[in-house]
Amino acid sequence: MTGKIEQTVGLLLRHVLLVMLLVAFLVAVFAQSAFAADARTGASNEALNDDIVVIVSSLNTVKALTRVRVEDIFLGRMQQFPNGQRAVPIDQAEGSAVRGRFNKGVLGHTSVQVRIHWSRILFTGRGRPPRSVASNEDMLQAVAADVHAIGYIERRFVNDSVAVVFE
């Protein structure tokens, strides 16, 4: 009797899952068109903005970093500056044009590839993606205030509270 019920429920579950997969694909197709449209707008904004620079607090003794080192820190491979001091990367908001351009221009990957990279680290319990701030102004403040912090902003936002370590 119980076996019969389990069998019926099992059959039902299979059908529910198959229907869910179908629905998910349909939803995905619609969502994709919106996402692609967004991505195009992002790309057209790119030409209007000035370039992106990597910054640390002016209190930090690090004066310059290589691209490989910036990559290592932002992809979680390295948790320290070359001088041995702890490095804490900070990202701009998910989906922002600045973050997209930093990912592509400095890290050499699309935002989705960076996300896939972090999902590998996250779901194996080895670490977490960097925290993020909402804007260039917030980034400036967060980096200036913390000797361990490293972030990136559009060049026109740079002031004395931070030092440019990669451009």
Beta strand pairing status for 88-92 and 131-133? parallel
Shortest spacing between CB 160 and other proteins, in angstroms: 27
CA distance 109 to 101: 9
Q: Which two tokens stand for residue 43?
A: 């790309």
Nearest distance from residue 68's CB to other proteins, in Å? 6
Which residues of this protein are in contact with other proteins, per CB under 8 A? 6, 9-10, 12-14, 16-18, 20-21, 24-25, 28-29, 31-32, 35-36, 66, 68, 71-72, 77-80, 84, 86, 91, 94-95, 108-113, 115-116, 119-120, 122-132
Minimum CB separation of residue 153 from other proteins in Å reads 17
Nearer Cβ to other proteins (10/48): 10
In the complex with other proteins, which residue's Cβ is closer, 115 or 158? 115
CA dihedral 77, 80, 86, 88 (to 10 degrees): -50
| In the complex, minimum distance from the CB of residue 27 to other proteins, in angstroms, rounded to a whole number | 9
Contact call for residues 156 and 56 (beta carbons, < 8 A): no
Minimum distance, C-beta of residue 123 to other proteins, in the bound complex (Å): 5
Residue placing its CB nearer to other proteins in the complex, 64 or 155:
64
Tokens of 153: 């902003």
- Closer Cβ to other proteins, 51 or 127, answer by number: 127
**What is the C-alpha end-to-end distance of the chain, expressed in Å?**
71
**DSSP letters spanning 77-103:** S--B-TTS-B-EEEEEPTT-HHHHHHI
Length of the chain in residues, anyone? 167
- Between residues 71 and 158, which has the closer beta carbon with respect to other proteins? 71
